[in-house]
Chains A and B, each alone.
Chain A
Amino acid sequence: QLQLQESGPGLVKPSETVSLTCTVSGGSISGTNYYWAWIRQPPGKGLEWIGCIYYTRSTYHNPSLKSRVTISVDTSKNQFSLKVRSLTAADTAVYYCARAPMAAAASFDFWGLGTQVTVSS
């Protein structure tokens, strides 16, 4: 069974950069038919798609976040990562990693449990 697990620092200061990693187990991230995505959810609010990456390193980003976000993949470690720069309190959220089939990029069929990121001084 495929499993995804997010990891990150939890608490970060405003204006800094947060780095999150998603470790995939039970399957290869190099599979040709899937995107690997980041999605976040601010407290009490809805889901926001951040972006995704294909194992060839092709990326897609939410236009509202594109200038502050970098998504990368490390196939040797079966991991993909997210960096968000210039953090503000509005970036406080639970960050999820997820998988979506290339043929249906909006149907995220496997999710991690999520990792809380709090932006505060």
Chain B
Amino acid sequence: QSVLTQPASVSGSPGQSITISCTGASSDVGTYSYVSWFQQHPGKAPKLIIYDVIYRPSGVSDRFSGSKSASAASLTISGLQAEDEADYYCSSYSTSSSLVVFGIGTKVTVL
């Protein structure tokens, strides 16, 4: 099964903005606007923070925003805070994997 490509790690200082990319193909990110992002702290279940490329679930900070261009989606975290240090995963609807494919994950470090 193919997976979505993410950088292994991204870091930033408190207050800065960082962006995580999620690169797919025409069978997923390139064609469909069904990209989601999840935040996972160590030992915890993932938490949905962005769905359908740009939408935030109720209760999620507006410091998180999503976008997409061609076959690459992006998650931007603005005003980076210590609590944002976590692993982040993208996911997409996919016609090549029977329904869903995940990204390989990105570790965000707050310096």
Contacts and interface: CB of A to CB of B under 8 A. Distances in A.
A106 B27 CA distance: 14
Question: For A46, A48, A112, which residue has the most chain B Cβ atoms within 10 angstroms?
Answer: A46
7 residue pairs, one from A and one from B, having the closest CB atoms: A107-B51, A107-B36, A46-B105, A106-B91, A111-B45, A49-B100, A60-B99
Contacts of B47: 111
Contacts of A100: 100
Interface residues on B, range: 20 to 34
Interface in B18-58: 34-36, 38, 45-48, 51-52, 57
B69 interface: no
A66 B98 CA distance: 10
A63 B97 contact: yes
Interface of B: 1, 3, 34-36, 38, 45-48, 51-52, 57, 89, 91-94, 97-105
Interface of A: 37, 39, 46-49, 51-52, 60-64, 66, 96, 100, 104-109, 111-114
B41 to A, nearest CB: 13
Given A104-B93, A114-B45, A109 B51 contact: yes
